[in-house]
Each structure stands twice: as C-alpha cells, then as structure tokens.
Amino acid sequence: MSLKYAVVGTGAIGGYYGGKLAESGQEVHFLFHSDYEYVKEHGLKVDSVNGDFLLKPINAYNSTSDMPKCDVVLVALKSTNNHLLKDLLPPILHKDTVVILIQNGLGLEADLQKDFPDLNIAGGLAFICSSKIGAGHIGHFDEGRINIGSYSCSEVHILETVKMDLDNAGVETQILDLEKARWMKLVWNIPFNGMSVIMNTTTDKLMNNAAMQELLREIMLEVIRGGNEAGEGRYNIPESYADDILEMTRHMTPYAPSMKLDYDFHRPLEIEYIYTRPIEEAAKYGYSLTRISVLEKQLRFIQAQYL
C-alpha cells in the first residue's frame, strides 16, 4: 500500500521534494499560503536542472483542515514559523503518521515533541540549491539529495518506504543518525548562513578572502568539536570534514544562503535552531562554541534593526 503524503510549507524545499514525489505518481497534498489561488489555476511549476515539470492539476489547499489525514507529513516551513505547527498539524495526523521536519538546526524535533508527546517524528536535511522564483514557481539549480533519520518513530520501516519513494522519484536519499546528520549539516550552515548576512555578501566573496577563509574554517572546527562532544564519542566527525566542506563550497556557483535571502527580504532569521540551540547543546557537554556565539549575537543585533 502506498503512502499518502502531505507537504506543509510548499516553498523552495517542500515544493521540490513534494513535487518530485507527486510527479513520480505518489499521492501528495500541498499546503499553500499566499500562492494558493495562483496554484489552483496554474499549477506548480518546477524548473529543475534535472528536468522541468508542471504539477497541474495539483492537490492544493490553503488550510490543513481541508486536507486528508496523511501517512507522512513533510514540514518545510522556515523554522521561525514552527510555533504554527501546533495548530497546523492535528487535522492531517492519524495515529501512525510520521512528521518529517526538513529544516536546518538542532532541537526542532524536541520542541515539536513537547506539543505532541505521542507523535512519530523524524528529521530531514536537504542538500539543495533551490529557491522560489515566482508565484507557484520554484527553481532548482544544483544538488538535490536528502538525508532523513528517525527522532521518535515507533517503527522505522516507514522511513524505508519514504526513502524508496524518494529514490523512485529521482531524489537520492539516505537514512542516517539524525543528530549526527544535523551537526554535520551545521558545519556548512553555521559559518555560511550567518557570515553572508553579517558581511552582507555571497559565498564566493567570503571564500575569496584569506582571513575570512581561515575564520570560516575555525568556525567549522568549533561545530565539529561541539558535535563530537555532544555525541559523546559516537559521531567521530573528522576535522578534515571542514576542509572537504571548504573545498565543496569553493566549487559551488556563487550563492546567497537562505538566511541571506531572509535578511534581504527583512524576514525573521533562523537564529534559534541554527545558532542558539547548538551553542546550548555543546555547553551541556562543557564545550564552548565561542566564535559561534559572536555570530549569534551579531545576528540578533542585525535582526533587531529591522524586525
């Protein structure tokens, strides 16, 4: 029996992964916000480096109370909107639903579990360069993998079905230790998201400056060491991973990370889950993310100037 999917937050991330699943024949129900009317009429268009497609007609909704109960809910909201989940989720949950938080940072699942103690929660990490380029229109420029992992799923086999569905849809998917995967993703997100906002620039300009490159590497090492401490020896993220990530970024096309786009459009920044929680988590294990704390406070100052 095939799974029924819901996408909560149909933007650059949710639109791409949910779109790929729907395009491959899965039943997917999409929650839209401002684009709802447009998409009802024109469908959802995805311009992808792996092939463009148009979902029309599409199962589009502007309220979860109109949606069916689903087996898998892909949450791809900005994490600054996660307080909305308390009201958004109940109409689409049955007792075995798995909610997958496709978001960056630490502590997302723990916060959701507080509101839904019995919910099966998983996390997802998207490795993708995509963005919303217009109403009902998503651009996908590079990468596209996703890593998923269980946080509190009573049965893991459902994640294996999700992986199979994604693989069938042309999305390379791995099932990993969620917390370790989240720390590893932060090795990119913490230096590049914050610094592109603080320096008001793009990844290529950051990489082209020797002093900045050294600082980015120092920050990556803090993340790696913090993660390894928090993993109590189970993660073994090698310090050479910092150099791998630098090398990867050096070969990326010039890129404005999502936090830079949030800053440019004067939207709330995802400081809490990408900076504050990792700092707090490492501190529990006696490790101080000192440089990252500087970035966190600079970001809080910057956000306070326009919010």
Closest CA relative to residue 42, chosen from 140, 171, 138, 130: 138
How would you classify residue 236: left for phi > 0, otherwise alpha for psi between -120 and 50, otherwise beta? left
Contact 113, 151 (CB under 8 A): yes
Taking the CA atoms of residue 15, residue 16, residue 20 and residue 23 in that order, the dihedral angle to the nearest 10 degrees is 50
Q: Which is nearer to a second copy, 12 or 256 (CB)?
A: 256
CB of 199: closest distance to a second copy in angstroms?
6
Q: Which is nearer to a second copy, 65 or 290 (CB)?
A: 290
Closest CA relative to residue 278, chosen from 204, 191, 163: 191
CB of 209: closest distance to a second copy in angstroms?
5
Q: Which is nearer to a second copy, 194 or 227 (CB)?
A: 194
Residue 149 neighbours by CB distance under 10 Å: 22
Q: Which is nearer to a second copy, 154 or 290 (CB)?
A: 290
Catalytic residue selected from 20, 163, 180, 185: 185
Question: Known catalytic residue: 185?
Answer: yes
CB of 235: closest distance to a second copy in angstroms?
23
CB of 292: closest distance to a second copy in angstroms?
9
Q: Which is nearer to a second copy, 130 or 276 (CB)?
A: 276
CB of 269: closest distance to a second copy in angstroms?
12
Separation of alpha carbons 267 and 80, rounded Å: 9
Q: Which is nearer to a second copy, 75 or 187 (CB)?
A: 187
Take residue 282 and report the two structure tokens written for it.
Answer: 């490492």
Q: Which is nearer to a second copy, 46 or 195 (CB)?
A: 195
CB of 217: closest distance to a second copy in angstroms?
10
Residues lying near a second copy in the complex (CB under 8 A) are found at 198-199, 201, 205-206, 209, 211-212, 214-215, 218, 290-291, 293-298, 300-302, 304-305
CB of 211: closest distance to a second copy in angstroms?
4
Q: Which residues are catalytic?
A: 185
